[in-house]
Amino acid sequence: MTTFFSRNALPALIQGGMGIAISNWRLARSVARRGHLGVVSGTAIDRVVACRLQEGDQDGLVRQAFDAFPNREMADRVYARWHRPEGLPEAGAYRPVPMFSADPPAHLLELAVIASFTEVWLAKRSASGPVGINLLEKIQAPTLPLLYGALLAGVDYVLMGAGIPRDIPSHLDALSQHQPCSLKLKVEGGEDESIPFDPSQFACQDTPILRPKFLAIVSSHVLAMSLARSGGVDGFVVEGPTAGGHNAGPRGWSPAANDEPVYGPKDAVSLERIKALGLPFWLAGGQEEPDALQRARELGAAGIQVGTAFAFCSDSGMDPRVRLKALAATISGQIKTLTEGRGSPTGFPFKVLPLPGTEGGRAAAERIRQSCLHGYLRSAFRKADGTLGWRCPSEPEELYVAKGGKAEDCPDRRCLCNGLLATAGFPHKLKEGGTELALVTTGLMENLKRFLAHAEDYDANAVIDYFCGAEAKLPATV
Ligand SMILES: Cc1cc2nc3c(=O)[nH]c(=O)nc-3n(C[C@H](O)[C@H](O)[C@H](O)COP(=O)(O)O)c2cc1C
């Protein structure tokens, strides 16, 4: 694989990681080919790759990536387990992938390792620039296998937020040496559990790995200072409350109702304090003006991270029917993005587009509490017998309460895993009947009309040209 960039040169523009599979390999590759940092989302990528295989892998690209995986027997085993040459028997009839737990079966670990390898490998295929992977700290159980697979594919950056990713740098050190490590799993109502991970079980030790840079995504200078003290962080993405997806809550915040969180002066991030840490940083959230990059640099930043503008371009992984409908509805002023205080089971504010025909367009009274099919946002809890259980405040209330959860945690929650997979074009059949509805998360969309002045759609190049000028594109192959 040939790369045209220096690992020491900092990207001016980062295309933000957007789960589930919105920032897929196609989008990240389009950005990386222009020499900027393209970021694939690692969230639920095990399931996404299993879905692509079940749909038949019609273009053979997953097979190509599997052929490049260092352990051929393992690649063949995972392929044989999930590939359906004839495709799905009916829409949404995917075979279930087991949920991650503290003790996942070997075949699930193998799927996770090779799935994140595949996504990064495809993004870096032929002549590409720098590629990163984005993971959420909140989703813990799959983290180590996903990191290892990405490292085997030569990922250049790991970006992580939605929590305090303090242990990630030491995991990257260990995994880059193919050394075992263990992840501290938070357990509600009990002591943390340790999840061991041993790379030797994948027999890939002969593959040399360059430790990727680690960028922590933060919304406060206090957290940035604390992470810098812990060491191993190579920079920060400083994300403001207008950013798409999950946001940090205002200081001291706990929503009683599903109100939009209100941010005040105490939530302002001191860029001076961040600059004083001596590490590069990028500004994210509402970077909309054509001179955003220049202004960020004047504030001491290395550049900007942009999400929403890329999420709605034609290279994104969003189901095109949902994407174009969302663009039309926002640009015509019919709907606006909302920040829901309680929608997400994570407890973080979460941005939702109230688009008719999607989960976000359903009023609270119309929402159906669904059985969890995917389980990424479940929390571990300690059962009375000492074993681990898993629960999510979005699941049917009686199930959640039977597992010791508090009924008051449940109102207003939405099932994000189900909805976000549907938005990426993988809607699953529900146990309750019907198929998952898409759920669109996004930042500010009104200004996306600037990309549509003379056309009905736009691509990632248009976003890059807007922020960085139309400098030469890298060739696709060498
Ligand atoms: C559709 C969508 C999904 C996102 N998902 C994630 C995610 O999985 N992890 C993450 O760290 N940030 C996520 N983000 C935030 C972006 O990476 C980025 O920081 C943010 O969108 C920048 O603000 P902007 O949308 O105003 O450009 C998401 C944003 C969008 C629009």
Is the distance from CB of 215 to CB of 236 less than 8 angstroms? yes
Nearest ligand 1 atom to alpha carbon 243: 23
143 part of a folded domain: yes
How far from 140 is each of 121, 184, 249, 278, CA to CA, in Å? Answer: 23, 8, 20, 29
| Full domain range(s) for residue 234 | 13-341+443-468
Long-range contacts at 69-74 (CB < 8 A, ≥ 24 apart): 69/114, 69/117, 69/118, 69/121, 69/152, 69/204, 70/152, 70/203, 70/204, 70/206, 70/207, 71/202, 71/203, 71/204, 74/110, 74/114, 74/202, 74/203
Contact (Cβ atoms closer than 8 angstroms) between residue 358 and residue 318: no
Output the pLDDT for position 453.
Answer: 77
390 and 370 in contact (C-beta within 8 Å)? no
Ligand 1 pocket mutation pick from 238, 282, 308 by most atoms within 8 angstroms of CB: 308
Given a cut of 60, whether residue 36 has pLDDT beyond it is yes
Does pLDDT of 477 surpass 50? no
Q: Are 295 and 467 in contact (CB under 8 A)?
A: no
Report which of 334, 364, 352 is spatially closest to residue 441, judged by C-alpha positions: 352
Beta bridge partners of 44: none
Q: Is residue 389 part of a domain?
A: no
Q: Whose CA is nearest to atom 7 of ligand 1?
A: 18
Q: How many domains does the chain have?
A: 1
**What DSSP designation does 312 have?**
T
What's the confidence (pLDDT) of residue 7? 65
Compute the average pLDDT of residues 11-22: 97
Please determine, for residue 383, whether its predicted confidence score (pLDDT) is greater than 60. yes
Lowest-confidence pick of 48-52, 140-144, 175-179, 186-190: 186-190
- Residue 72 covered by a domain: yes
Does any domain span residue 266? yes
Rounded to the nearest integer, the mean pLDDT of the chain is: 92
Structure-token match 């479940």, residue found:
378
Place 366 in a pLDDT band, splitting at 50, 70 and 90.
Answer: confident
Residue 311: phi and psi, rounded to 5, are -60, -30
Mean pLDDT of 38-53: 98
CATH classification of the domain holding 238: 3.20.20
CB atoms within 10 A of CB 281: 26
Q: What is the pLDDT of residue 5?
A: 59
For the chain, the residue count is 478
- The mean-pLDDT minimum among 152-156, 217-221, 430-434 falls in 430-434
Q: In the prediction, which pLDDT does 260 show?
A: 85
> Residue 314: pLDDT above 60?
yes
| Cα–Cα distance measured from residue 164 to residue 227, given in angstroms and rounded to the nearest whole number | 8
pLDDT band at residue 478 using 50, 70 and 90 as cut-offs = very low
| Residue bearing the CA closest to ligand 1, atom 13 | 18
Question: pLDDT at position 127, please?
Answer: 65
Q: If you measure from the C-alpha of residue 62 to the centroid of ligand 1, how many angstroms do you get, rounded to a whole number?
A: 25
Separation of 222 CA from ligand 1 center, angstroms? 21
User: By mean pLDDT, which of 22-31, 94-103, 349-358, 428-437 is the weakest?
Assistant: 428-437
Contacts of 106 (CB under 8 A, 6+ apart): 201
Note if the pTM is more than 0.85. yes
Torsion angle defined by CA atoms of residues 409, 411, 416 and 418, in that order, rounded to the nearest 10 degrees: 110
Q: How far is the CA of 418 from the centre of ligand 1 (A)?
A: 18
Ligand 1 mean position, distance from CA 169 (Å): 22
pLDDT digits (tens, 9 = 90+) for 63-118: 999 999 999 999 999 999 999 999 999 999 999 999 999 999 999 999 999 999 99
Residues 295-318: what's their mean pLDDT? 97
User: pLDDT, tens digit, for every residue of 316-335?
Assistant: 999 999 999 999 999 999 99
393 vs 477: CA distance, rounded Å? 47
Ligand 1 centroid distance, CA of 21 (Å): 12
| Separation CA 46–CA 205 (nearest Å) | 22
Q: How far is the CA of 84 from the centre of ligand 1 (A)?
A: 32
CA of 85 to the centre of ligand 1 (A): 34
For ligand 1, atom 30: residue with the closest CA: 244
Q: What is the pLDDT of residues 247-293, one digit of tens each?
A: 988 888 877 777 788 888 888 999 999 999 999 999 999 999 999 99
- Composition of the chain by helix, strand, coil, percent to 5: 35, 15, 50
Report phi then psi at 109, rounded to 5.
-60, -45
Q: Ligand 1, residue 442: give the atom nearest the CA.
A: 31
Percent of the chain with pLDDT over 90: 80
Ligand 1 interacting residues, C-beta cut-off 6 A: 16-19, 22, 41, 43, 134, 136, 161, 217, 239, 242-245, 284-287, 305-308, 311, 441-444
Q: Which atom of ligand 1 is least distant from the CA of 286?
A: 26
DSSP per-residue letters across 252-296: T---SSSPPP---GGG---HHHHHTTTS-EEEESS--STTHHHHH
Instruction: Say how far apart CA 243 and CA 327 lie, in whole Å.
Output: 17
Query: What are the tens digits of pLDDT across the range 145-196?
Result: 999 999 999 999 999 998 889 999 999 999 999 999 999 999 998 899 999 9
Whether 159 maps to a domain, the answer reads yes
Ligand 1 atom nearest the C-alpha of 423 is: 1
Does residue 363 belong to any structural domain of this protein?
Answer: no
Residue 471 scores a pLDDT above 60? no
Strands, E assignment, 313-422: 338-340, 350-352, 379-382, 388-391
Nearest to 22 by CA among 326, 323, 290: 323
- Is position 325 within any domain? yes
Ligand 1 atom with the shortest distance to the CA of 159: 11
Residue 6: the pLDDT is 66
Q: Please report whether residue 453 resides in a domain.
A: yes
